[in-house]
Amino acid sequence: MPFFNNENISIAAMACAVPDNLVTVDSFSNAFGQEVTERFTDGTGIKQMYKALPEQTAGDIAYAAAENLMEHYPVDKDKIGALILVTQSPDYRRPATACVLQKRLGLSKDCAVMDIGLGCSGFVYGLQVAGSLMASSDMEYAMLLIGETASKLVNPQDKSIVMMYGDAGAAVLLKRESGNNIKTLLRSDGSKYEAIVLPAGGFRDMNPSHEIFMCSDGNERSLYDIFMDGTAVFSFSINEIPVAIKDYLEVVGKNIEEFDVIALHQANRFILKQITKRIKAKTEKVPLSLDRYGNTGGISIPLTLCDKYGSTDEEVIKVLASGFGIGLSWGVTSFEIDTTNIYPVILTSDYYAEGKFMPGEY
């Protein structure tokens, strides 16, 4: 199995941001009826989420998280040797949004930057990539950013997911620190790539018709809207993730009781309950944030930690984390972090006005 061990690397700090635009599930009752919205909340556990303002991008929200982190954690920007952004909602098709964020954050030219196009597994995959870059270099810090505005890619009449996706951004600062290791297991199954897909706009099919058609699940969409096979995703989540977690624990020689918190991707409440039961974890160790933030993709793991620990007293916690979803892709990792350096979730309405321009105009 792809199992990685990044030695002498730790997570120094973590911060998250959400758009200053609260949307409740109940507000959809005019469109879908109260029975539909109540049934949705009962099934998923989601009561509200934050959706990006029209001008806001994934880069904007991730930037707000990064700025908040650096305001609290006094890191020398010249010592940040890598900036990685995990997103499937980039600001542009080209260049990588990470390049824009390097400029906005004022990072040195001696900083490697890149985007990673992953969704719900993005925190685990991104953490591994950032850790690997550090492990094979002399850099002292690396910044992992995750941003998503999936709500902009959903048909507003799609009652299966329009009430599910929330938008958010996260910033995670990695630091070289002797004696701290981050061990990670990564897996994927591309044979099921159609389970969560947005067909139009890429180079396979750049400009298809915007015609609305009826899908097999009874929801109307165009090729420019996200489609999710809920049954396939549910089956994958409750079967593959417990196996991966058990395999991970076997390799690292630990049991589930040794961790203070089990941070799972916030897919929906029923999936989390099934995974918790199958890995035999205590319910109180598996925090939920989806009731207030919805499914925020790759941000959901750090968002859950910031939501739970952002205002707590100093404490070093042992975290087991698992992200899973689109691709299909999934992973498991673990780390220790001082809760003093986990900051409360902030609201942001800011956006990068200079980012919308005509090429050649200066």
pLDDT in tens, 265-276: 999 999 999 999
Asked if residue 115 is part of any domain, the answer here is yes
Count Cβ atoms below 10 Å from residue 57 Cβ, excluding itself. 26
Q: Please, are residues 213 and 348 in contact by the beta-carbon 8 Å criterion?
A: no
Supply the Cα-derived Rg of the chain in whole angstroms: 20
Are 138 and 8 spatial neighbours (Cβ–Cβ below 8 Å)? no
**Separation CA 334–CA 318 (nearest Å):** 7
Each of the 362 residues of the chain gets a pLDDT tens digit; together they read 689 999 999 999 999 999 999 999 999 999 999 999 999 999 999 999 999 999 999 999 999 999 999 999 999 999 999 999 999 999 999 999 999 999 999 999 999 999 999 999 999 999 999 999 999 999 999 999 999 999 999 999 898 899 999 999 999 999 999 989 999 999 999 999 999 999 999 999 999 999 998 888 888 899 998 999 989 999 999 999 999 999 999 999 999 999 999 999 999 999 999 999 999 999 999 999 999 999 999 999 999 999 999 988 779 999 999 999 999 999 999 999 999 999 999 999 999 999 988 887 65
Residue 72 is a catalytic residue: no
Residue 241 lies in a domain: yes
Q: Has residue 356 been placed in a domain?
A: no
CATH number (domain holding residue 263): 3.40.47.10
Any domain includes 249: yes
Alpha-carbon distance of 300 to 318, in angstroms, equals 18
Q: How far apart are CA 71 and CA 194, in angstroms?
A: 41
What is the rounded (10 degree) CA torsion for 78, 15, 154, 232? 110
Check if the beta carbon of residue 184 is closer than 8 Å to that of residue 127.
yes
Is 120 one of the catalytic residues? yes
CA 253 vs CA 167, 181, 182, 183, 286: distances in Å: 36, 14, 14, 12, 21
Domain for residue 316, yes or no?
Answer: yes
Given phi > 0 = left and psi -120 to 50 = alpha, else beta, which region is 208? beta
For the whole model, what pTM was predicted? 0.96
Residue 357 resides in a domain: no
Write down the pLDDT at residue 34: 95
- Residue 295 among the catalytic residues: yes
* Count of domains observed in the chain: 1
Of 16, 111, 120, 306, the active-site residue reads 120
Where do we find the tokens 């018709």?
Answer: 209
Chain centroid to CA 55: 20
Q: How do residues 225-247 score in pLDDT, each as one tens digit? A: 899 998 999 999 999 999 999 99
**Which is the catalytic residue, given 16, 111, 155, 265?**
265
Which one of 6, 68, 155, 295 is the catalytic residue? 295
DSSP-derived 3-state class of residue 271: helix
Which range of residues forms the domain containing residue 163? 1-347
In a domain, 352, yes or no: no
Length of the chain in terms of residues written: 362
Q: Is residue 362 part of a domain?
A: no
